[in-house]
Amino acid sequence: MFDLVADVEKYPLFLPLCEALKIRRREERDQRPVLVADMTVAYKIFRETFTSRVTLDREKRSILVEYLDGPFSRLENRWSFEPLESGGCEVRFFIDWELRSRTLSMLVGAAFERVFRRYAEAFEQRADRVYGAKPALA
């Protein structure tokens, strides 16, 4: 699952509202890959691009996304992956955000919960396609 989330260039293939994602720069910091990427999200007449720094820490099984530029006043999200004895893993996701525009914030804020659920479902469906669907419980 770490690899699936870390493969940000594939987000436009499966992530709702993600119109484009472009890697601006790749580097190493403290032996961890760091990407600087532009993500364009679009919904009806709205289209926004923002830039983030993505730190991939395989050893700690975590991914940190820090906001650099765009329509937010702040944006940070963190992923963590804990292996399970059953062979799968537990994925934890945290996000903290605020848009600069109060008007846009009110519009997006009302829909954010639905969008977040769609994102979570999109990652689960992608994992099923990449790794195989999990067996149904009897």
Q: Say how far apart CA 40 and CA 86 lie, in whole Å.
A: 37
Global pTM value: 0.85
For 46-92, what is each residue's pLDDT tens digit? 888 999 999 999 999 999 999 999 988 888 999 999 999 988 889 99
**What's the first-to-final CA gap in the chain, in angstroms?**
25
Mean pLDDT over the full length of the chain: 89
- Give the CATH fold of the 2-131 domain: Alpha-D-Glucose-1,6-Bisphosphate; Chain A, domain 4 (3.30.530)
For the chain, the structural domain boundaries read 2-131
